[in-house]
Amino acid sequence: MTEHEEKKHEESLMEKIADKIRGHDSSSDSDDDKPSESSIKAKVFRLFGREKPVHHVLGGGKPADIFLWRNKKISAGALGVATVMWVLFELLEYHLLTLVCHLLILALALLFLWSNAMTFINKSPPNFPEVHIPKDPIMEFAQALRFEINRAFVVLRNIASGRDLKKFLSVIAGLWVLSIVGNWCNFLTLFYIVFVLLHTVPVLYEKYEDKVDPLAEKAMHEIKKQYAVFDEKVLSKIPRGPLKEKKKD
């Protein structure tokens, strides 16, 4: 083998080695570029842009456990009590004051007869416990209610200032729909419907969220598309914000 052929053979070997090194580097880069399974799951569309589980979105704690039927006895009991109250007040046309008075009459009569019966048969009368309303839960509830009311006032003020036309139209549409629903049913029936929805919709969504979220993504995409057209043709032509005073010449 001549010297020229040996050099040519060495160059071909070096080229093959270099090609293998490049191929290995490119494959490792492509593996690094591939998103992990966890990142893919994190980028999945979730309804209302949530990033936490439904239990955390509902506030966590006992209320979320009730709405998601973590304790079936408590959830069924709460729904049953609400149903009984709705039947009494709506279907049987009972009044709240009348119901409270009748319950108190029944309770006091039973306790009075029980106490006298124990004395009549020479037994010690029942020891009724003292009932006190704790201060701390009431104060916490009042503070939370005050915070939410003040936040609602801030939102209403921002809407009334005319700075956010989209939010203004959303609130007007929501109030209009609520007024229509108010014509169909009274406040008690509306409250009962909302209560039933809170006990059914979240638990069903948590169970079928992988099927609901893709449909919600398509719906949100179509809504944004239609809103963009509406904004371009109508909303963009409406002056926004307070009118500026004309400068004096």
What percent of the chain has a predicted confidence (pLDDT) above 70? 74
Residue type, 47: L
Question: For residues 26 and 200, which has the higher predicted lDDT (pLDDT)?
Answer: 200
* Residue 82 pLDDT class (50, 70, 90 cuts): very high
Best mean pLDDT range from 83-87, 183-187, 213-217: 83-87
Question: For residues 28 and 229, which has the higher predicted lDDT (pLDDT)?
Answer: 229
User: How far is 181 from 177, CA to CA, in rounded Å?
Assistant: 6
Please name the residue that has the structure tokens 């049987």: 92
pTM of the model: 0.58
Q: What is the pLDDT of residue 40?
A: 43
Q: What is the pLDDT of residue 13?
A: 57
Residue 179 pLDDT exceeds 70: yes
Residue 248 pLDDT exceeds 60: no
> b/e for 88-108, b at 16 or more Cβ within 10 A?
ebeeeeeeeeeeeeeeeeeee
* Residue 50 pLDDT class (50, 70, 90 cuts): low
Best mean pLDDT range from 29-38, 165-174, 196-205: 196-205
Residue 30 pLDDT exceeds 60: no
